[in-house]
Amino acid sequence: METYSVKRYPVAPGVRLNVRSGPGTHYGIVKVLPEGVNVPINCQTPGTWVSGPYGTSNLWDNIANGQYVADAYVRTGTDGYVTVRCA
């Protein structure tokens, strides 16, 4: 199995970000991240389209087991994948 270090990325300034149980806005909110946090991105997967400070994207970032945030709210420096696709 391939090993890689999980990089952390900053959430958009002034945003309290909803963390959902799956990659879409129809999934329940499991928690809300406080302003100014950096999140680890374990893997990424397509889901609901969301517009945020960093554009409009259907990419969702897995930050922990069963926890997803919309990539449009995370400053990764790209509109594309920055890590592996979730299985």
Say how many Å lie between the first and final Cα of the chain, rounded: 13
Q: How many Å apart are CA 23 and CA 85, to the nearest integer?
A: 12
The pLDDT of 17-28, averaged and rounded, is: 98
User: What percent of the chain clears pLDDT 70, i.e. is strictly above it?
Assistant: 95
Q: How many Å apart are CA 87 and CA 81, to the nearest integer?
A: 14
Q: How many Å apart are CA 52 and CA 54, to the nearest integer?
A: 5
Q: How many Å apart are CA 24 and CA 22, to the nearest integer?
A: 6
Write the pLDDT tens digit of every residue in 31-63. Answer: 999 999 999 999 999 999 999 999 999 999 999
pLDDT at 3: 55
pTM of the model: 0.92
